[in-house]
A and B are shown apart, each in its own frame.
Chain A
Amino acid sequence: MTPSQQRRTRTNLGRSKFAASLLLAVSLLSSVSCTRKTEQAADGSAKTSSSSEILIGEYGSFTGSEATFGINTSNGIKLAIAEWNEKGGVKGKKINLRSLDDQGKSEEAASAMTRLITQDHVIAVIGENASSRSLAAAPIAQQNKVPMISPSSTNPKVTEVGDYIFRVCFIDPFQGTVMAKFAHDTLKAKKVAVFVDVKSDYSVGLSDFFKKTFKELGGTIAAEASYQGGDMDFKAQLTQLKASKPDAIFIPGYYTEAGLIARQARQLGIDVPLMGGDGWDSAKLYEIGGDAIKGGYFSNHYTTDSTDTVVLDFIKRYKAKYNDVPDGLAAMGYDAANVLIEAMNRTADLTSAQIRDELAKTKDFAGVTGKISMDANRNPVKSAVVVKVDGADNKFVTTISP
């Protein structure tokens, strides 16, 4: 029915031809103008920045379902850059950040990275949170020999892409081991149930290494269930996990769901400890989870009850700038930016290759998320802390070194 109506209502040919040619013209013009711009830019500053500014790139998920993680990371990065610029920048040059949104899609991450490098000519790139998007973009950085530093991509494969790819967070095998050891040694758990977010590569990766280590330590995995990020009702799975009578439940997801899961678990009468990874680190965890999440344990990079001045200063300045308590992702973004800029500061003349070399030499950098030293695989060597959720603050429980 409808197409024939459509034909009846169609307008004269002249108008549509005009519209068609207009659209074509617009698209052609836009691509041509872009081309021009890059040609000009390509002349002067290929890979060293000779102007009075240094351009660093960032790509992240600023819109879409993972926007909150991308935005918090970006806030941390921006805070670090603002601080350096206040101090006069690097080698007398102001640092400029170019942030591109990838909408939480891996192909957009690839095109954002390509744009940053080949069109905007940044000398280094910070990003992404999610390992899947870092993996999509890292080969492009590697090919073009532009250093990339990821704040929180925990999949070991990310830095295996090549010698220009770095990170400042733990990798999954380490963090999985930390929590498995903690469950086994401190909680004395024999049977642990695992509740994983199958939509998140972080959650899947962390749970795999946790299960492996926990079994090696002699424990058993009582039951496994899964959810998808964005779900609200977890009672079906929790009822099933409860039936397996675990000594603890490991929930390697993000705080956005962990709070709700904790609430529903308590409602179902599950009173065994809940455990998580650094994805839990946010003030929102307690706000969403309320008293239900109290007594939960998670592995993290630092504690908010720390007396370390670096941490305290960071929290104070972050609050002043964004009127919000920083979460773990913001801290990682802050550290990633600082490690990068520090390395830039050490180079002789700010080329991408020199920045790479200096990044690789990073040693005992006092970051918010701990002392960072890069190992031969460009992963940081740092210890993890296990903290206990105790109201709005987290209490330090133990430190576990790699």
Chain B
Amino acid sequence: MTNDPNKTGHNPVPEVGTKPSAKPAPKRFAMSFVAPVGAFIALAIVGQLLEASTNQYVQLVLLFMCANIIFATSLNLVNGFTGQFSIGHAGFMALGAYTSAYLSTAVVQNPSFFDFIWFAIAGGLVAAAAGYVVGLPSLRLRGDYLAIVTLGFGEIIRVILLNTPAIGGARGLFGIPRPKEVVLGDFVFTNFYMNYLLAIFWVILTLVVLWRMVHSVHGRKFLSVREDEIAAQSMGINTTQVKVRVFVISSFFAGIAGAVFAHAAQGLTPATFGFTKSVDAIIMVVLGGMGSLTGSVMAAAVVTLLPEFVLRPLTDITGIDLRMVLYSLALILFMILRPSGILGTRELPDLWRKNGK
């Protein structure tokens, strides 16, 4: 993808400047397969190092970070790439989290490692189905109105969770298992490590699917809806269909994010999935740059790590809990000083590519 001769740094739409059809098919397939597997292996090795060098606290925060990465990138598909405005994303995450948690506690006893994959898929599917139900009527609305409807649905989902005794209601659902440790000869893969493998599997899968999607013909459709809906319509694009499709896919991955979150936290309460959780996702998307997947990844990392590893120690020094005050202040300043987010609409590889030329 890097050696397209027509590509320049000043291309107005750099992230779609490369055409998927520009390369011979087998090589492209190989690339799309090798890169993620390579990344998985690399991260798996990093995981071993982390396992050895960090404590459980850092490890738990890393797992939350993985969930947030999936959560933020999935919302970026709707907010960043398609220009729709959803502020109820936490509702879909909640559905995924509760579905996966319920399956692993009440339905399947002693789940194996691979069971967790289908629990997450089930969570994703439930969220996707809800996304379809929400999206179909509401995506005809524009801008802020869509935002308000998604907010409404997010709240409705939370109220329903709060009042469903089977999943604990306000008392919460606890004792959610993690994948068990695996012993292979001398090697012990702890339950953190197994959980980490599962989490990075989903992170990579999400990124690959979303990356492939936004760099495909479908991705072009998303962008055309974002840039000018009327023009897109006049080009023969069924904009409502595109929007619903994007919404369903995004909800699916939000559900996956929920599943990763549920097995990391090992306990769920409806309060977790309130409006502030949706706001967190929007913050990550805008902070990273609307329409930049790698930007969302970085922003998710920053938003998860900053309060824990930077602001908490700061609180120890000042003696007052200023975590949220500093966080909100940083947010305002960042929006004013750098409105396009960390990466704008560009992706991380774009930066290196510019340098190489």
Contacts and interface: CB of A to CB of B under 8 A. Distances in A.
Asked whether the complex places CB atoms of A and B closer than 8 A, the reply is: yes
Interface of A: 2-4, 6-7, 9-11, 13, 16-17, 19-20, 23-24, 26-27, 30-31, 33-35, 38-39, 42, 62-63, 100-101, 103-107, 110-111, 114-115, 117-119, 131-132, 135-136, 139-140, 155, 157, 198-201, 203-205
Contacts of A35: 53-55, 58
Given A23-B302, A118-B57, 10 more contacts: A20-B298, A30-B305, A31-B309, A34-B54, A35-B54, A35-B55, A63-B323, A106-B172, A119-B55, A136-B267
B171 A110 contact: no
A23 B342 contact: yes
Interface of B: 9, 12-13, 53-58, 60-61, 64, 80, 83, 162-163, 169-172, 174-175, 226-227, 261, 264-269, 271-272, 290-291, 298, 301-302, 305-306, 308-310, 312, 315, 321, 323-324, 338-340, 342-346, 348, 350-351, 354-355
Given A106-B267, A107-B265, A24 B298 contact: yes
Nearest to A155: B171
A397 B56 CA distance: 49
Which A-B residue pairs are the 6 nearest by beta carbons? A118-B55, A136-B267, A30-B309, A107-B265, A115-B57, A201-B171
A284 to B, nearest CB: 22
A199 B174 contact: no
Given A3-B290, A4-B227, A136-B266, A20 B272 contact: no
Given A3-B345, A107-B64, A119-B57, A139 B175 contact: yes
B162 A199 contact: yes
Contacts of B163: 198
Nearest to B295: A20
A366 to B, nearest CB: 32
Given A13-B354, A34-B58, A110-B267, A136 B261 contact: no
Given A6-B345, A135-B174, A111 B61 contact: yes
A107 B172 contact: no
Nearest to B172: A132
- Interface centre among B56, B64, B227, B291, by most chain A C-beta atoms within 10 angstroms, is B56
Contacts of A13: 9, 346, 350-351, 354
A91 to B, nearest CB: 26
A198 B162 contact: yes
Contacts of B306: 27, 30
A105 B175 contact: no
Contact of B291 (A3, A11, A118): A3
A31 B58 contact: yes
B58 A6 contact: no
Contacts of B162: 198-199
Contacts of A201: 169-172, 269
B301 A27 contact: yes
B249 to A, nearest CB: 19
B267 A107 contact: yes
A16 B305 contact: no
A235 B269 CA distance: 28
A6 B343 CA distance: 11
B108 to A, nearest CB: 19
A106 B265 contact: yes
A350 B101 CA distance: 38
Given A16-B342, A19-B342, A30-B305, A114 B290 contact: no
A117 to B, nearest CB: 8
A300 B128 CA distance: 47
A20 B342 contact: yes
Contacts of B272: 105-107
Contact of B56 (A23, A114, A131): A114
Contacts of A19: 338, 342
The listed residue with most B CB atoms (<10 A of its CB), out of A3, A10, A11, A62, is A3
B174 A204 contact: no
A106 B267 CA distance: 7
B129 to A, nearest CB: 25
Nearest to A158: B174
A20 B265 CA distance: 29
A198 B170 contact: yes
Nearest to A196: B170
A39 B170 CA distance: 39
Nearest to A132: B172
A9 B340 contact: yes
23 contacts: A2-B83, A3-B345, A6-B344, A16-B342, A17-B355, A23-B342, A24-B298, A31-B58, A33-B309, A34-B58, A38-B54, A38-B55, A110-B267, A115-B57, A118-B55, A119-B58, A132-B170, A136-B269, A139-B266, A199-B162, A199-B271, A200-B170, A201-B170
A104 B56 CA distance: 21
A16 B351 contact: yes
Given A114-B60, A132-B171, A205-B171, A106 B340 contact: no
A106 B305 contact: no
A368 B264 CA distance: 38
A132 B171 CA distance: 6
Nearest to A101: B321
A2 B315 CA distance: 37
Contacts of A104: 271
Contacts of A42: 55
Contacts of B265: 106-107, 110, 136
A136 B344 contact: no
Contacts of B271: 104-106, 132, 199
A62 B290 contact: no
Nearest to B315: A101
B321 A62 contact: yes
User: Interface centre among B64, B268, B308, B348, by most A CB within 10 Å?
Assistant: B308
